[in-house]
Structure 1
Amino acid sequence: MRYAPTFALIGTAAATAIAPRAVKTFPAGSVFDIVLEAPIIDIDLEDNEDIIATLAKTKTVICYFSAGSREDWRSDANKFGNTDFGKEMGDWEGENWVDVKSENIRTIMKNRITRAAKAGCHAVDPDNVDGYNGNQDGYGYDESAYVDYITFLADTAKANNLAIGLKNAIEIISNVKDKVQFAVNEQCHEHKECAKYQPFTKDGKAVFNIEYGTKDCSDPTDTNLSTVLKNADQKLNTLGGQC
């Protein structure tokens, strides 16, 4: 179907500031790849700050970070106060949901977005912004708290001349789609939710879909997905898998 990778999603870190530029657009149907861990391109910038600047010379680079959790291995983990995070995150050891209403959390995420801009990223992909689902964050916040949080993240990204995507959080698409430039989804084919991204396609915005094991490259009616298929075991550890 299509192969040449145009986009890469990666982790954030500090580097030399880049010149101001217009916010990047992400047309529907854009080809992309997502690699969070790989032997060829190590994109966790806490250890590889210079890679982003190199990639950005020839690719559009979207920088991944978790906006809704504290990961105890990150360099800024000590910036989180004891009340900023609580409930453990499912199967991910050392990762806990954060309080998205905390001003300190917002300061931490603002700093991450600023670091992404300085590193040379074109956009950010803040993960875990759906803690309202089944009260998985443990705080009992409803969708409105996350709409407000994503709005904050989007405003911060815009202030840094960065585009921003909505990661999953399908239930609040209608509330935030005008704030973001693209969407990143995991397993919408598997969960039969892909058609819910029609508003993004209608607005001409890309939907980057990642399927783990489910081999489905189809598009629902009036929905234009940019899909990659990742091995169910290796998931994000290897390049390739475009439809």
Structure 2
Amino acid sequence: MSLFTVTVLAVTMLGPYQAVANAATTASTTAETTGTASAALWRPPLQSRWQYQLEGNPKYASTGGINVDICTVPQTGGACVKPTVFDIDLYVDGDVAGDNTTVNTAAVKAIHARGAKAICYIDAGSIEDYRPDYKQFADWHKANGNSLLGKPFSAEFPNERWANINNDKGQRDFLLKMMAARVDKCARAGFDGVEFDVVNAHEEGKPVTGWTVSAATQLTYNKALAAMAHAKGLSVALKNDLSQAAELVSSFDYAVNEECFQYDECSELNVFVKAGKPVFQVEYETAPGSFCAKANKLNFNSIKKSADYSLKDQPYKPCR
């Protein structure tokens, strides 16, 4: 019986969450036994310069709205430098493509043509109403006692709502099924890794999210996401969730962090550096002169982006 057949039977008998977890475990075991799947995973070097561009620029329509040739003088000075890692959205920006359904294979191909790697951005902990699969989330929410979509993510991002990752009504099973479909698209598009955003609901609490999520529940969800990515041949980033970094470093291949210098919480990420896993870090409001020296000393791959939290190609200032 093939792995595919086993997985299909598992979905029928055990439910999608357990099936995904079992399939991921099988893939992990196979990798450890044969060495093939594990060797195929892209694991970036500790020092890897990155760019964070989630908003497309029509000027670069031929490369999916991504400025793949960006070259900027780092904070340390000298000649301009180019990223070796691009963290971009799964989809081409609507302002570039004219729709919200075009997977950004053009950018991935262009990034690879330049010898760089591409991380696929997916929101796994909040649900954005402009995504092509949004109706499936909204329909499930309505059919299951309004138990999936919580409060708006923030005043700055009112078009997304916190997801309920508990499983009392099968919410987590459903979310993992939907995330698996998204990750499949990342893999088919040729991405090298995946960033699951908003995986720290337990830190925010019910007043912010609308749901009571325990630390244990967050760990269960995050580990399932990591196993899912690995099973599909993609490396995976831990996004924020600093309070669980030490518990999750063995499950994730690198970290993506926002504003740890602004909030004086970067020490939590040292576990990744000590494990030889890169930290891709971004500051928005803090000036490069205030954090870059510290970032370089910590061996973080830090960059400065716009203070208004937009993630266009510019501004872009790597620390090194």
Which residue of structure 2 lines up, in the alignment, with residue 14 of structure 1?
none
AA of the residue aligned to 1:237:
K
Number of residues of Structure 1 aligned to a counterpart in Structure 2: 224
Q: 1:26: which partner in 2?
A: 44
Larger Rg: 2
Give the corresponding residue for 2:223: 151
Give the counterpart of 1:128 among 198, 211, 217: 198
Higher alpha-carbon deviation: 149-158 or 81-90: 81-90
Mapping for residues 1-20 of structure 1, pairs under 5 Å = none
Give the CA deviation at 1:106.
1.0
Amino acid at match of 1:67: A
Q: Which runs of 5+ in 1 are unaligned?
A: 1-19
Q: Which has the higher helix share?
A: 2
RMSD, aligned CA? 1.9
Q: Which runs of 4+ in 1 moved over 2 A?
A: 40-44, 46-50, 52-58, 218-223
The 1:28–1:219 alpha-carbon spacing in structure 2 relative to 1, beyond 3 Å, is: farther
* Structure 2 residues not aligned, in runs of 5+: 1-36, 67-87, 92-100, 142-146
Amino acid at match of 2:119: I
1:178 aligns with 2:253: no
Q: Determine the C-alpha separation between the residues in 2 that align with 1:195 and 1:221.
A: 13
What is the aligned partner in structure 1 of residue 20 from structure 2?
none
Give the match for residue 59 of structure 1. 116
Q: 2:240 aligns with which of 150, 163, 168?
A: 168
Q: 1:86 to 1:175 in 2, by over 3 A?
A: same
Instruction: State the one-letter code of the partner of 1:227.
Output: S
The residue identity in structure 2 corresponding to 1:78 is K
How far, CA to CA, are the matches of 2:200 and 2:309 in structure 1? 24
Confirm or deny: 8 A CA contact 1:24 1:162 kept in the other structure. yes
Separation in 1, partners of 2:266, 2:298: 8
Within the candidate set 153, 164, 171, 1:89 is matched to 153
Pair 1:227 & 2:245 matched: no
Whole-Å separation in 1 of the counterparts to 2:149 and 2:309: 29
Distance, in Å, in 2 between the alignment partners of 1:234 and 1:72 is 19
Q: How far off its partner does 1:213 sit?
A: 2.3
Contact 1:201–1:222 (CA under 8 A) maintained in structure 2:
no
Other-structure match for 2:102: 47
| 8 A Cα contact 1:125 1:167, kept in partner | yes
Q: 1:165 to 1:127 in 2, by over 3 A?
A: same
> Partner residue of 1:100?
165
The separation in 2 between residues aligned to 1:220 and 1:47, in whole angstroms, is 36
Structure-1 residue corresponding to 2:33:
none
Cα distance in 2 for residues equivalent to 1:50 and 1:236: 19
Q: Percent identity?
A: 28
Q: Do structure 1's residue 218 and structure 2's residue 293 form an aligned pair?
A: yes
* CA deviations over 1:123-157 (Å, ceiling 9, x no partner): 00000001112313221111111111111001110
1:56·1:120 contact (CA, 8 Å) conserved in 2?
no
Give the counterpart letter for 1:89 in structure 2: F
Per-residue CA distance 1:24-52 (angstroms, 9 max, x = gap): 11222211111001313255423353322
Structure with more contact order per residue of length (Cα contacts < 8 Å, sep ≥ 6): 1
Matched, 1:236 2:311: yes
Contact 1:68 1:127 in 2 (8 A): yes
| Distance in 2 separating the partners of 1:142 and 1:109 | 21
How far 1:233 moved relative to its partner?
2.4
How far apart are the structure 1 equivalents of 2:197 and 2:285? 21
Maintained 8 Å contact 2:186/2:194: yes
Pick aligned residue for 1:208 from 280, 283, 302: 280
Tell me if structure 1 keeps the 8 A contact 2:55–2:310.
Answer: no
Q: Which TM-score applies when normalising by structure 1?
A: 0.86
Residue 153 of structure 2 contacts residue 160 of structure 2 at CA under 8 Å; is this kept in 1?
A: yes
